Amino acid sequence: MDAPEARFAAPPNALDAFWMPFTPNRAWKRDPRFVTQAQGMHYVAPDGRRILDAIAGLWCVNAGHCHPKIVEAVRAQAGQLDFASSFGLGHPAAFEYANCLTEAAPEGFNRVFFAGSGSEAVDTALKLALAFHAVQGQGQRTKLVGRQRSYHGVGFGGLSVAGIGSQRKHFGPLLPGVSHLPHTHDPRQNAFSRGRPEHGGEAFADALEGILYAQDPSTIAAVIVEPVAGSTGVLVPPQGYLERLRAICDRHVLLLIFDEVVTGFGRLGAAFGSQALGVMPDLICCAKGMTNGAVPMGGVLINDRVAEGLYSQPETTSEFMHGYTYSGHPLAAAAGLATLEVYQEEGLFQRAAETAPRWEAALHSLRDAQGVTDIRNIGLLGAIEFGSPAAAKAIAARCFDDGVLIRAVGEALVLSPPLAIEDSQIDQIVSTIRKCAGEV
C-alpha cells in the first residue's frame, strides 16, 4: 500500500468538491483532519499516527475495522455478482442474510425489509405502519408520534418524527400530523445515573396519553423512539419508561417502532436493544452495525402481526408498495452475513455485556475531572457532559490530537467503542479525556 502521505499529496482546492455532510465545510477545510487507513480498534492518520476509535466509526464498526472475514466476503461477492435488483428477481445472498438476521432477531420477527441506510429504514418503518393500518381498514390512522431530542435520519419522514429543531430549519413544515413526546433526560433527578436512571420513567411515558387525548387515538398509526437516544447525547430512558410506552400503545392499538440504528448489533450487550431492555416493539429499524459499516445498508425487522396483516391482501398485489434499487444489495448482504457470523463466532454481544460494568466504572471515575457536569452509560454507550458545547468540542479536538477519536454532540462527548474494546483501551480513553478536559 502507498504511504498514506503520498496518497494525500493533494493539489490546491482538492477539498472543495466533496460537500461534507453535517459539517461546516469552509471552516473544516481550513483545518482539515484525515484518516487514511484502519485496522481493528484504530484509525491511522496521514502522518502514520494511530488513533483509538472510541466511537466505532459512527456507531457502526462494532466488530472493529477491516475485519478480515468481512473484507473477504465483500471481495468475493463483488467478483461473483456485483448487482441484481430485488424487484421480482432473487439472488441468494439477500435471502441467506435475511434468514440469519431474522434468526438473530427477537422472537416473532421473521421478516426483514432491506434498505440502504438508517434514514431509509426509518422512512420504510413509518410507511409500513401506515400501510398496515390501511390494510386493516384503519386508513384514518395516519398520524405519527416521535420524541424530542430523538434522531431518525434525514429523510422527510425521519426528520418529521425526530425532535431536533435545529435540523428542521430551512425545510418547511415537513409531514403533517406529527406530535412529539418529551425527551427523557432530566439531570435534576437523574444526574450521574448508571444504566437506566431511577426516576420519572412512567411519568415521561404517560405524556403519550396526553397526546392521544388531544389527538384522538384512532387517528394515530405509530409511536417511534430510539430505545436509547444515541446521537443527541446518549439519553438513557428511566426504568419503566419503555414498558409503559408499550402498554399505552397496546391499549390504543398503535404500533411501536424502535429505531435501533445505534442500539442494534450488540451495543447494549444483546443482539438488539429491545432484548437487552426487555421490551418488544412491532418494528425494528436497523443499519450501521448490520454490515459493520463496511457497505451501506439498513433494514426493518417486521413482527408477525404486521407481516400477517400486510399479507392478508390478495396474492397478486405487492404487499407493500415500497423499495429501493439497492434493497438487499449483494455486497451489503454478503457483508451483513459475514458480520453476523463474526459477531457470533467471536461472542461479541456477550463480550459487550461482560465489559459493560468495567466501562461504567471507568466512565464514572471521570466524575471529578475538570468541568464534568454529568455522566451517562448503558451497555457500551457513554456520554460525558461538560458545561458548554464549546468545551465539549474543544476537548474532542484535543483528544483526537492525543490519539483518541471521540465525538462531541451538544455539551457531551459521546462514546461507543467497538465491542471488543480491551481494558487498557478503556483506560486510555478515560485518561485522555481527563487530561484534555484539564487542558481546555
Please state the closest distance from residue 360 (CB atom) to ligand PMP, in A. Answer: 22
Runs of H (alpha helix) within 262-347: 273-277, 304-311, 330-345
Single residue of 57, 64, 153, 379 touching ligand PMP by CB under 6 A: 153
Strand ranges (DSSP E) for 159-306? Answer: 178-181, 220-225, 255-259, 283-286, 298-303
Give the per-residue contact string, 270-299, with ligand PMP (x = CB under 6 A; - = no): -----------------x------------
Question: What gap in Å lies between CA 125 and CA 127, rounded to an integer?
Answer: 5
Please state the closest distance from residue 25 (CB atom) to ligand PMP, in A. Answer: 18
Does 269 bind ligand PMP (CB under 6 A)? Our answer is no
Single residue of 51, 70, 122, 181 touching ligand PMP by CB under 6 A: 122
Please state the closest distance from residue 59 (CB atom) to ligand PMP, in A. Answer: 6
Please state the closest distance from residue 408 (CB atom) to ligand PMP, in A. Answer: 15
C-alpha cell at 239: 426504568
Please state the closest distance from residue 270 (CB atom) to ligand PMP, in A. Answer: 17
Backbone angle region of 269, left / alpha / beta, with phi > 0 → left and psi within -120 to 50 → alpha: left
Closest by CA to 325, choosing from 302, 296, 285, is 296
Contact 404, 432 (CB under 8 A): yes
**Please, which residue, 64 or 293, has the CB nearer to ligand PMP?**
293
Contact 343, 62 (CB under 8 A): yes
Does 230 bind ligand PMP (CB under 6 A)? Our answer is yes
Question: What gap in Å lies between CA 237 and CA 229, rounded to an integer?
Answer: 8
**Please, which residue, 371 or 410, has the CB nearer to ligand PMP?**
410
Does 151 bind ligand PMP (CB under 6 A)? Our answer is yes
Question: What gap in Å lies between CA 112 and CA 306, rounded to an integer?
Answer: 12
3-class DSSP state for residue 426?
A: helix
Neighbouring C-beta atoms of residue 327, cutoff 10 Å: 22
Binders of ligand PMP in range 60-119 (CB under 6 A): 117-119
Contact 260, 272 (CB under 8 A): yes
**Please, which residue, 184 or 428, has the CB nearer to ligand PMP?**
184
178 to 137, 181, 231, 233, 369: CA distances (angstroms) = 21, 10, 21, 23, 41
Q: Which residue is nearest to ligand PMP (CB)?
A: 118
**Please, which residue, 19 or 213, has the CB nearer to ligand PMP?**
19
Total residues contacting ligand PMP (rule CB under 6 A)? 14
Single residue of 259, 282, 374, 411 touching ligand PMP by CB under 6 A: 259
3-class DSSP state for residue 2?
A: coil
Residue type, 206: D
**Please, which residue, 267 or 364, has the CB nearer to ligand PMP?**
267
Q: CB under 6 A: which stretch of 98-106, 149-157, 325-333, 402-410 binds ligand PMP?
A: 149-157
Please state the closest distance from residue 229 (CB atom) to ligand PMP, in A. Answer: 8
Question: Which residues form the interface with ligand PMP (CB under 6 A)?
Answer: 117-119, 122, 151-153, 226, 230-231, 259, 261-262, 287
